[in-house]
Structure 1
């Protein structure tokens, strides 16, 4: 009996390593069959690691992705498509306007600039606007001045009026009174103020001057209590409702620009809202110290959303290209690996497609390779698809991608 037990125990001891190896092998096969989970950064898909953590580039928390997800497409339901504002268009060959871009900038239109200067010597008794950047309306009080010279002219006016009233039949006295009144009007003393002075028979050395136009206080030259002479600068008002667009052009390109020509203008940060402009002026001489001429036009600035000094581009028509496939510029995503678009396959599947671009204007870009007539291309929401792909797949949608059409 003891011999039988010994043989059974010895046999089990010999079989244990084999069973253990078999279990390990089965475990490994199970692990190999499961999808390996890695972590990546949604902003930098090149960052990949096996455990959770933060991105060494931007510091964002890494998100889990499945290494088994090899599909190059994205599946979105109807609600996701609507929420991302994804729209598509069927592409086809057509005409693409070609433009030459001139670098420019927005500038103040001096024709709409008002320079406020003192009409009479005196002391600035009160400033109603004490800082630059403040908008003012026509007729709004700007400053109050104390002027002994104005008081003297008012006294002369009262004497002339009294003399004219004492001798109503004397034409010369009437002319003297009218001349004294006109002199005060030329000093911008309002007619109602003169009527009040005549009625009350009393001079007023204090006079309030108002804004002659609508505008923004761009320059303020004086302070309260300061004495000014006749003609001294008080402030400068600028109207930003219409701005100049000035652009530089090389002399060899001047034959492409003509006064009166209609062009397109885009302002930095507002590329999606181009405006039409007429070329009003071409400088007859090059700018000092440069080999550049200057062209200029005027654009409306509704709501004063633009500020002088902002970068602006002028697009000169340079002919059209026929029978080309083109897309809105926002439909094409560019990165270090090239350019790609998103194709819609069926109702809910989206596939990235690498393309080669060609001529580009302010709102469209030519597609030379990668698309064919009839393809259903995403024109809004392409960047959201790109971000969604990186978030779900943990990789660039163009990694290892070629121009071949799927």
Structure 2
């Protein structure tokens, strides 16, 4: 009877041990793994690797070994049956090559063209006899009068010239005429004096160009000195559009590129221009690049101070690799894509990205034309790869010819 009880207990013990061995083969007594382990890891934190077995510091469980032979025999990444991939919504997209044409919408403010400026100064000391009805902000045509100046020293020089003109000495006459020019007398005033034979001591200063009168610093009866600034004007034939472009898009700007602008005060009207200058300094408060756009203004409808919506057309110029922006996995430190390979294999690949436009992103490195990337469902595949301890760097290393695990 005792022998039967002992035999039953032995059989029961063997059965329990067999069951444990089936659930945890590595923990079964007498089972030894001859394959060398690369490292040990916690399946819940596969990115952390350990050089020896033991209990996980993260979870209450034993570390799992990753074997060299097994790693070498498997394709790095994850493998999913095509039917299952369809069920979970995996969608692929091709890596294509083409010219990336993009547009950038920003705002701008009109300003005067600082290259089209005229400064009116007194040619000689004198007095203001008359000021015409002008005020800053007036739009003038070229040649419109601003003020009349009486210049006494010109009267004496002209009387001397008129007296020498009757002498018949051409040398003296030429020298006297040159002296008039050097005194600052305009050629038109000298010609009028010669034709009339009378002293012309009053000079009418006028607008040298068509544009807006910015300043007018003359009043009747005031005294002016030689070289004193009397007025300042800005031309309006072409105006500047000051545009602030975010610093991140500043590298793609080029002088001469096309700009299309729409103004709030001119509904339905589109004005095309070109980038004339990209200023060298970046605005510190807004971190923007200041761009100057030159616009034609033949009708004078564009007034400095007006606001505009600006669209800058950009192009990569050369064909570049592109993938859909939705295929990118941005971790904060790097950018990944899930590369689709034959047999339902997927592996993470780290890429370097460039410009982005119209839901397409330029790939600078990491992919080749014609490859397939996962455009939908990539986050599920990346999570599965992370659970298996597969990283982009490790997958790339294992895919190299002759690489050792």
TM-score norm. by structure 1 comes to: 0.48
TM-score norm. by structure 2 comes to: 0.48
Task: Return the index of the structure with the highest Cα Rg.
Answer: 2
